[in-house]
Amino acid sequence: MKIISFIALVALILTAVILNATNPSSAGPFGILAFFVCLYVLFICLTYVVFLTSERIAAKFFNFKNSRNESKYKTYYYSTVISLAPVIYVGMQSMGDVGIFEILLLGVFELLACFFIHKRY
């Protein structure tokens, strides 16, 4: 948990530096890629911490027992898929106007990816 929090802090600092030090036209493709990668890593860490915390709360209050190794991997897979949604949304927003249809398609993509993880792992 400490390592994940440290990685999230580093990603947050790098994202803030990229946003404050450059603009998209001067950063170029590498700067934009670095921004999206840092944002993705930040969201992965945040969703993973939220999932682990909610799992611990559920285990404490509802006597929920699960195998820890399988649960950690599955939690990581879910967090990677779910954290991709805000990054895709920011990318779509930077390309143009995002309407309800695009948001619904993003939601369907997320549901299908989560369903795949549920069935596969």
pLDDT tens digits for 3-58?
Answer: 999 999 999 999 999 989 988 788 888 988 999 999 999 999 999 999 988 888 88
Give the pTM: 0.85
| Contact in structure between 65 and 49 (CB atoms under 8 Å) | no
pLDDT at residue 67 tops 80:
no
Q: What is the pLDDT of residue 65?
A: 67
Q: Distance between CA 60 and CA 65 in Å, rounded?
A: 9
Residue found by looking up tokens 């995002």 in the block:
98
Q: What percent helix, strand, coil does the chain show, rounded to 5? A: 90, 0, 10
